[in-house]
Structure 1
């Protein structure tokens, strides 16, 4: 009788952090009126520091100082609302940086499924990376606007619903375009 090998369990830490990140606008909407922004801001900084890459742990000091500064200026809620802006700025930076590398971010992802990507595929993935850069720029600008000028409910609606819908729409449009291009080639 042969033994069945079990796959290693998924780490719950990254999965939990991802779910918290996705639910952040809803959590803020529900918890800021109950407990205030300060505990959420502390939790956000703690989670961000926990997930920092090993070589970037010194950034935790900067995150802590930024959180302290926003609270001292009376804007702790702005610190809570900044999460979607930070995420979009980070993704924009990573995707834009990849455009200066031999392989763009989308090309790296595409090569996982298709290691021998043809030249027209490389050009296509570079263009898709540029499109995602524009998306992160526009979405980040909208997130910043809602953080600065909208009430908490509107901020939560945009960043916890509409932004995800726009992201899904872009995924769907890109998938349709990719299928059409594949049929032509």
Structure 2
């Protein structure tokens, strides 16, 4: 239940900030970021969740202090940095995040599968770099509407497209592996 709450709040965060601007100052909306950061930490209580919660706390404090919107708009960027750190660290230490997920379905993953999951993890790292960069650009230079549209909708369409595309590629790779 807590994970569902965290995912929903994270997905809706940019839209809630955008809609909240019509009714409240940024320092009041900082409470939303604080709640989101706390929910994220309580959902998993991992080191990564703690780091994200601390980033949320810092951004909320900066917003409360300055009453500026920019720190609130940086939270999606922080999420991309956190995901890049998680996926990137798994490339260095192993097993990769994608391999761990694949082993939930296929515990006896062979060397070809391990190499494939490593490549998919690299693709996700690239996605987080590009997505975080676009999120940063929208936070710094775009209107609030554009920021909310990109970070609250387009980014999820892109993530879904990447997941769906990877699923199609994986089916093809598996089919080709059995044919050879």
8 A contact 2:26–2:67 mirrored in 1: no
The structure with the larger Rg is 1
Could you tell me how far 1:129 is from its partner in structure 2?
Answer: 0.1
**Pick aligned residue for 2:24 from 15, 18, 35:** 35
Deviations along 1:6-33, one digit per CA (max 9) or x if unpaired, are xxxxx3x332222111011111111112
**Pick aligned residue for 1:165 from 157, 168, 177:** 157
Written as runs of structure 1 = structure 2, the 5 A alignment for 1:2-151 is: 11=1, 13-52=2-41, 53=45, 63-75=56-68, 77-151=69-143
Q: Distance in 1 between matches of 2:148 and 2:51?
A: 30
5+ unaligned residues in a row in structure 1: which ranges? 1-10
More helix by share: 2
8 A contact 2:98–2:117 mirrored in 1: yes
5+ unaligned residues in a row in structure 2: which ranges? none
Q: Distance in 2 between matches of 1:61 and 1:17?
A: 15
Could you tell me how far 1:59 is from its partner in structure 2?
Answer: 8.1
- 1:79/1:117 CA distance change after superposition, 3 Å: same
- 1:17/1:169 CA distance change after superposition, 3 Å: same
Q: Which residue does 1:156 correspond to in 2?
A: 148
| TM-score, normalised relative to structure 1 | 0.84
